[in-house]
Amino acid sequence: MILLRHDCLVFKTSDGDSIPCSAEQVTLEIIGDAIAQLDEQTVKQASAAVLHYFKAELGKTSVTVGEFSTALEHALRSLGLNVQGPSATTAPAPRVVRSDLSHLAHESDQGFELIFFSRLRSAMQQGLEQSPDIVHFRGLRPCVKRLLGAQRWTQGCQSLNDQIVDYLRTCFDNERRSSACALVVC
């Protein structure tokens, strides 16, 4: 076993790697360019306090970067500095409603394009009822080839491809309730 320096911890990354590093170096990485706006000595003391907390009080030699940054944020706030941790700046994940165009084409085999476009509009309406941030239709190429019974991409495939995209855009513009909602077709 390798003995760590007194000012080091083993940091576990989100990738599962364990990296021995000094608390001061990790602090500089976490704070980044904002270090110029803070008192360097205060940041070093806060970093040393967090290191002491993990090593001496909790008896830990390894922590996650998230644990260290949360403790550092708390220490800096207790010293009167106004800091925002990564959780404050991270936006929530967008709500995405997904539909599979090739599945819709498979369901519409008997009625060809006539049934397909009707089901497409229904899928759009059902998706938008969920108030998503993104409506995502995938499988456009396989869908077009299935509807036309084509083995290879042809000019007719491209024409139907464009019709489907135009139809989805029109339905989307007519049905959506929020201007923040986006349409993705691929």
Q: Is the pLDDT of residue 139 over 60?
A: yes
Tell me if 2 is assigned to some domain: no
Instruction: State how many domains the chain has.
Output: 2
pLDDT of 50 reads 79
> Mind listing the pLDDT tens digit for each residue in 7-17?
677 777 676 76
Same domain, 76 and 102: no
Q: Is residue 3 part of a domain?
A: no
Q: Do 49 and 85 lie in a common domain?
A: yes
pLDDT of residue 49: 81
Per residue in 82-112, pLDDT (tens digit) is 666 554 445 567 788 999 999 998 887 766 6
pLDDT digits (tens, 9 = 90+) for 34-88: 666 667 777 777 778 877 777 777 777 777 877 877 887 877 777 666 666 554 4
Residue 184 has pLDDT above 70, yes or no: yes
Q: Is the distance from CB of 184 to CB of 137 less than 8 angstroms?
A: yes
- The arithmetic mean of pLDDT across residues 14-43, rounded, is 69
Asked if residue 104 and residue 51 are part of one domain, the reply reads no
Q: What is the pLDDT of residue 44?
A: 77
Are residue 100 and residue 82 in the same domain, yes or no?
no
Pairing of strands 18-22, 62-64: unpaired
Domain co-membership, 76 together with 156: no
Distances in Å between the Cα of 102 and the Cα atoms of 20, 37, 105, 125, 168 are: 49, 54, 5, 18, 15
Residue 121 has pLDDT above 90, yes or no: yes
In the predicted model, what is the mean pLDDT of residues 138-149? 92
Q: Pick the more confident residue, 139 or 181.
A: 139
**Mean pLDDT over the full length of the chain:** 79
User: Do 179 and 100 belong to one domain?
Assistant: yes
Last residue of a domain, one of 55, 89, 123: 89
The arithmetic mean of pLDDT across residues 9-37, rounded, is 69
Q: Among the three residues 89, 112, 131, which one is the final residue of a domain in this structure?
A: 89
Burial class (CB in 10 A: 0-12, 13-18, 19+), 121: middle
Residue 28 lies in a domain: yes
Please report the pLDDT score of residue 1 as a whole number.
Answer: 46
Note whether 109 and 179 are same-domain residues: yes
- Asked if residue 64 and residue 18 are part of one domain, the reply reads yes
Owning domain of residue 17: 8-89
Does residue 174 carry a pLDDT above 60? yes
Asked whether residue 163 carries a pLDDT value surpassing 90, the answer given is yes
Higher pLDDT, 36 or 147: 147
Residues 164 and 136 in one domain: yes
Q: What's the gap between Cα 160 and its chain centre?
A: 32
Same domain for 109 and 41, yes or no, is no
